[in-house]
Amino acid sequence: MSELRANTITHSDGTSPVTLTKQQAAKAWASIDADATDHPTLDSFNIASTADINTGVTKVTFTNGFSNSNYAVSGAGQAQDEAGGIFGIWGRSTTNSRQMTSTYFHTDNRESGSGARDLLYFGMSVHGDLA
């Protein structure tokens, strides 16, 4: 039996992501303070930037893009009050500037029983194939 121990594994070119085979892991994730100006990340992986676009809408841009826009996004959020937060995204079928691309997507956050709303906090993860 072999044992491999390492602190860091990098691609042979020193910058590209390492390809995982026969397994999947989140290719991007973030916890976002959607109540603060510009909706900054509290912690993240493979997230280049976030931007406050409109009430309930945060643009999330990846550091390393995906091979296409068929990735999956999941998340959850904390509402401004006790009503409960709803985390959503603008999808691939959207025909406006908020359509998912291989390099970014937009959230569509709401509060239970009401319309679009900036959440106090939301966390999300993204699964798919990197470019």
Say how far residue 118 (Cα) sits from the centre of its chain: 16
**Which residues, in sequence order, are CB contacts of 115 under 8 Å at separation 6+?**
56
Give the per-residue pLDDT at 131: 84
Residue pointed to by tokens 């826009």:
69
**Helices and strands counted in the chain (H then E):** 0, 9
pLDDT beyond 90 at 96? no
**What mean pLDDT comes out for the span 40-50?**
96
pLDDT band at 97 (very low <50, low <70, confident <90, very high): confident
